[in-house]
Amino acid sequence: MYLEKISLVNFKNISSQTFDFHQKINCFVGNNGVGKTNILDAIYYLSFAKSYFNSVAVQNIKHGEGFFMIEGEYLLNDRKETIVCSLKKGQKKVLKRNGKNYDKFSEHIGQIPLVIISPADRDLVTEGSDTRRKFIDGVISQQNKSYLQDLISYNKVVSQRNALLKYFAANRTFDTLNLSVYNEQLENFGAKIYEVRKTFLEQFIPIFNDKYQIISGDKEVVNLVYKSQLHDFSMTEVLKKSLEKDKILQYTSSGIHKDDLSFEIGEYPIKKFGSQGQQKSYLIALKLAQFDFIKQQSNVTPILLLDDIFDKLDENRVSQIIDLVNNDEFGQIFITDTHSERTEKIVKQSNKPYQIFKL
């Protein structure tokens, strides 16, 4: 599978542009602010119907314009596929595959597997547990449709339960029967989500450790630890234990929507004890493990987007990444960099065909 061509109209800072791509390596080089990352984000959009960098869809429309459109032409299993995503101000986003509208965008997730590695991934280290849960859910959801539906249903029930808790507080009342309807649904969906996450991480963590060791040259020991209240208690017990707290806070304070991943180097949090280079290596290993996992599960090689990943890495770590790219496990790769000479030197080492777009 690879992306043959992309056309952008009024997307972020791009008025109108079309790119024809090589099926192996494509590089975008130029100064900061010229739109390199925006092109990668447009490619991401075609896989997920949303931006990787800005969750407010209307803000992805070029300033002063009324709409944006992204069109991609793929070769998938020896047949042409056209994906179009567009948005007009004041209207709903539209996603089409071969001219046919998707009713639910969730039906499209996983159809065009893709992994992005970007400086924005640093949020996984610095931000709260919500960001790391989204990472887990994003990897699993690309291959597991029932998991995605369970997750959507679970989050909807949490919102409904929260609204009920607020109603109880505002009206100084409490109805156990009403609350139990939501609790039963959370217990059902929560138990299923937990089991899938646990199984996923049992498979994923060894892949991640292997990738990190390659990038670091076996210099450091890292770990990824899954934290969940359901390790020790059932969802029923968790909700029961937190009931009084929930009534005071007026929201559901416990459950699988509070799961987290602990990022460790040695036995310490990488956020506090890892250098910039170690943190970047950790995140790259995390995403390359995601790539491998999706490839194993789907038997399709995902598209790989590398946004400015060579900055803040020493030459040894860069060469280890190139060696990884060199071993034929990757398909189509898109790279952005501010240094055209560095990019050309790196991609030449890969011994793969490439093209460079100077923006």
Element (H, E) at 21: none
Residues 184 and 316 in one domain: no
pLDDT at 75: 94
Residues 102 and 56 in one domain: yes
CA 97 – CA 100 distance, rounded (Å)? 5
Take residue 312 and report the two structure tokens written for it.
């803040």
pLDDT at 270: 92
Report the domain count for the chain: 2
Q: Are 254 and 237 in contact (CB under 8 A)?
A: no
pLDDT at 184: 96
Q: Are 78 and 20 in contact (CB under 8 A)?
A: no
Backbone angles phi, psi at 72, to 5 degrees: -125, 140
Task: Establish how many alpha carbons lie within 13 A of residue 71's alpha carbon, considering only the half-sphere containing its beta carbon.
Answer: 11
CB atoms near residue 198 (< 10 Å): 14
CB atoms near residue 210 (< 10 Å): 13
Pick from 298, 321, 348: which residue ends a domain? 298
Residues 248 and 350 in one domain: no
pLDDT at 110: 87
Dump the DSSP string for 229-261: GGGTS-HHHHHHHTHHHHHHHTS--SSGGG-EE
Handedness of CA 142, 90, 157, 251 (dihedral sign): positive
pLDDT at 215: 82
Take residue 16 and report the two structure tokens written for it.
């109108």
Residues 305 and 292 in one domain: no
Residues 287 and 308 in one domain: no
- Please give the average pLDDT of every successive group of 10 residues along the chain, which has 359 residues: 96 95 92 90 95 92 96 92 96 95 89 91 92 93 91 96 96 94 96 96 94 83 93 95 96 96 91 88 91 89 88 69 70 89 81 86
pLDDT at 329: 76
Q: Examine residue 22 and state whether it is found in any structural domain, yes or no.
A: yes
pLDDT at 315: 67
**Domain residues for 150?**
128-298
Q: Examine residue 120 and state whether it is found in any structural domain, yes or no.
A: no
pLDDT at 259: 96
The amino acid that residue 63 corresponds to is H
CB atoms near residue 15 (< 10 Å): 10
Backbone angles phi, psi at 265, to 5 degrees: -125, 125
Q: Check residue 308 and report its DSSP letter.
A: S
Q: What is the CATH number of the domain that holds 312?
A: 3.40.50.300
Residues 148 and 262 in one domain: yes
Q: Examine residue 118 and state whether it is found in any structural domain, yes or no.
A: no
pLDDT at 168: 95
Residues 270 and 357 in one domain: no
Q: Examine residue 119 and state whether it is found in any structural domain, yes or no.
A: no
